[in-house]
Amino acid sequence: MGQLGMLEEASRGVGGGSVSTRPVPASVPTSPARFPTGFVWGAATASFQIEGARDWRGDSIWDRYCEQPGAILDASNGDHACDHVNRWRADVDVLRALGVGAYRFSVSWPRVLPAGRGAVSAAGLDFYDRLVD
């Protein structure tokens, strides 16, 4: 069976039942999908989830949420994330190699306006300027 035709078997029993990882057929088509001529594959990212580099941005509501004990099961945060701020060129190369023709990203306003208002961060704007170019 191909990847698209496999699903993990559902858990048996409620509250402590065993889980099997035996693949079972799914109702997903196994023939190659056909997309219309001109179809554009796209990708999207969220700044907090990929950028990292907390040391040169202000706090966001997500930073404050992650700092609450028990809010995030494994206590992970966006301090380093995928380090997109430093790896953006390689990340864009991967998108290009995958044939992605459209990329939607979010702007980290705490990176552009670290204090929430007032002075704009030239470094923050420069990062997004390089990414767009």
Q: 32 pLDDT band (50/70/90 cuts)?
A: confident
pLDDT of amino acid 92: 96
User: CA geometry: angle at 39 spanning 34 and 45, to 5°?
Assistant: 110
CA-nearest of 115, 113, 132 to 124 is: 113
More confident residue, 30 or 49: 49
Tens-place pLDDT, residues 51-68: 999 989 999 999 999 999
pLDDT of amino acid 9: 36
Q: How many CB atoms are located within 10 Å of the residue 69 CB?
A: 6
pTM of the model: 0.69
Do residues 63 and 76 make contact, with C-beta atoms less than 8 angstroms apart? no
